[in-house]
Amino acid sequence: MDKFDVTVIGSGPGGYVAAIRCAQLGMKTAIIERYSTLGGTCLNVGCIPSKALLDSSEHYHNALKNFGKHGIETDGVRLNWPGMLGRKDDVVGQTCSGVEYLMKKNEIKVIHGHGSFETNQKVLVQGEDGSNISVETENVIIATGSKPSSIPGVQIDKQRIITSTEALKLAEIPQKMVVIGGGIIGLELGSVYSRLGTEVQVVEYLDRLIPSMDGSLGKEMLRTLKKQGIQFFLSHAVQEAKNFGDKVVVKALNKKEQEVEFDADYCLVAVGRRPYTEGLNLNAAGLEIDEKGRVPVDENLQTQTPGIYAIGDVVRGAMLAHKAEEEGVFVAEVIAGEKPHINYRNIPSVLYTWPEAAGVGFTEEELISEERPYKSGSFPFRALGRARAAMETDGLVKILADPDTDEILGVHMMGARIADLIAEAVVALEYRASAEDLSRMSHAHPTFAEAVKEAALDATAKRPLHL
């Protein structure tokens, strides 16, 4: 095999996007993936299958609970769980094949097998069939992603004490599920099973949900998801989880240090993810991981060894697919001698429950802790004509702005369709818009987006029109 300009290890959204951009820039590129399908966590066991199940379970839930209110009778609605899982698998299959097609189209050499460093310019690929291929390369991009983590006392056995990966393909709908962690995965997959009829109990260590997002969203989400039937146990520190064969028992200490016991068919452990570098033989390339297991990188995402870069979940920053993608493009352009830029503050995060939650820029808590002055404006969905027409009145948009310059500092939303609406806020932040700029732009009527305009009016001059 000829020497490659760039070899990417890992084909998740970071790796495969980096490979495409390298190829677009004229570099001879290889990508190494240990699994038989491309796409990494996101396409195989993350973003795509979870959203497929979120959408399907939402249709089922609406048919049971909400269609009647629209004047649509739906007697005899039945759940076909294998059918729902089958559709999810089809979506995953199509999406992964799409990446394969993109590799071919861009003439990227795909090598299946486990990659590990022999030297800083040589990567050994060990195939499942026992084959060994040595790949010579000028540059390497480490894009090996992350794996679920756990907590002391909780041993994941993948049978009853499970991670998101198993939760995406359970053979049965559980009667009861305990979810450890009220973060993003806990609420998304907790919602899926709650909608399908499972009694879901979320046990969270902190006194709030989704701690990575603005506090107002956690509060609203708690209220809304409780209404949907999910039970929450905040300020509970899980001590242990045990599989008793036909059930699992989880023990936690509440605020008063009293032991609280939960039993269920399954315990979903959703307490975060850890960077994955096992078997990479980083030493051979002169590399070490940091105290959190991440590959340390500089502002160019280059490791301490020149020519070796790292991106996505395996490096510092948010563990998000679109963050990994931006870094993939960034590194390819750095290698090509360009001067790209990523504004990490403007990377949005989205929670795909229903209603959805999303945010970008500073949270209110961050501004307070940095002692940075700010003003705030908000607008509730219940005052929107579109929200009433759609029967989607839970939600709000909150805009944080600089009190002197009016520059938007952060936008946080909860409500129907805001996973897409947050893009407007990203544009505003990227172009350093003021709240007044947003408030003077025409927003189509009736839309959910009108809440952005109204919240901007509230932030800039305390004069919303429809409140």
Where does this chain bind ligand FAD (CB under 6 A)?
Answer: 9-15, 32-35, 40-42, 46-47, 50, 114-115, 143-146, 164, 185, 276, 279-280, 312-314, 319-322, 324, 352
Identify which of residues 189 and 329 has a Cβ nearer to ligand NAI in the complex: 189
Identify which of residues 33 and 265 has a Cβ nearer to ligand FAD in the complex: 33
For residue 103, what are its two tokens? 């590799």
Smallest distance from ligand NAI to CB 237, Å: 5
For residue 209, what are its two tokens? 């949900």
Q: Is residue 320 involved in binding ligand NAI (CB under 6 A)?
A: yes
Smallest distance from ligand FAD to CB 207, Å: 25
Identify which of residues 283 and 442 has a Cβ nearer to ligand FAD in the complex: 283
Strands 231-233 and 199-203, by their bridges, are parallel
Q: Is residue 156 involved in binding ligand NAI (CB under 6 A)?
A: no
- Cα-Cα-Cα-Cα torsion 9, 11, 13, 18, nearest 10 degrees, comes to 50
- Decide: 202 and 232 in contact? Cβ < 8 Å: yes
Nearest of 220, 177, 230, 186 to residue 205 by alpha carbon:
186
- Decide: 414 and 356 in contact? Cβ < 8 Å: yes
Using CB under 6 A, which of the segments 60-68, 84-92, 203-211, 294-302 binds ligand NAI? Answer: 203-211
Q: Is residue 312 involved in binding ligand NAI (CB under 6 A)?
A: no
Smallest distance from ligand FAD to CB 12, Å: 2
Smallest distance from ligand FAD to CB 255, Å: 29
- Please pick, from the candidates 17, 54, 123, 180, the single residue that binds ligand NAI as defined by CB under 6 A: 180
Using CB under 6 A, which of the segments 1-9, 66-74, 94-102, 350-358 binds ligand NAI? Answer: 350-358
Identify which of residues 106 and 447 has a Cβ nearer to ligand FAD in the complex: 106
Q: Is residue 212 involved in binding ligand NAI (CB under 6 A)?
A: yes
Q: Is residue 237 involved in binding ligand NAI (CB under 6 A)?
A: yes
3-state secondary structure of 255: coil
- Decide: 205 and 238 in contact? Cβ < 8 Å: yes
Burial of residue 402, with CB atoms counted within 10 A of its CB: 0-12 exposed, 13-18 middle, 19 or more buried? middle
Identify which of residues 352 and 374 has a Cβ nearer to ligand FAD in the complex: 352
Burial of residue 172, with CB atoms counted within 10 A of its CB: 0-12 exposed, 13-18 middle, 19 or more buried? exposed
236, 322, 445, 466: the active-site residue: 445
- Report CA-CA distances (Å) from 441 to 422, 424, 436, 453: 16, 11, 9, 7
Say whether 445 is catalytic.
Answer: yes
- Report CA-CA distances (Å) from 205 to 43, 179, 250, 252: 29, 12, 13, 9
Identify which of residues 178 and 433 has a Cβ nearer to ligand NAI in the complex: 178
Q: Phi-psi region for residue 404, left (φ > 0), alpha (ψ -120 to 50) or beta? A: alpha
Active site residues: 445
- The site for ligand NAI (CB under 6 A) is made up of 151, 180-186, 188, 203-206, 211-212, 237-238, 270-273, 318-320, 349-352
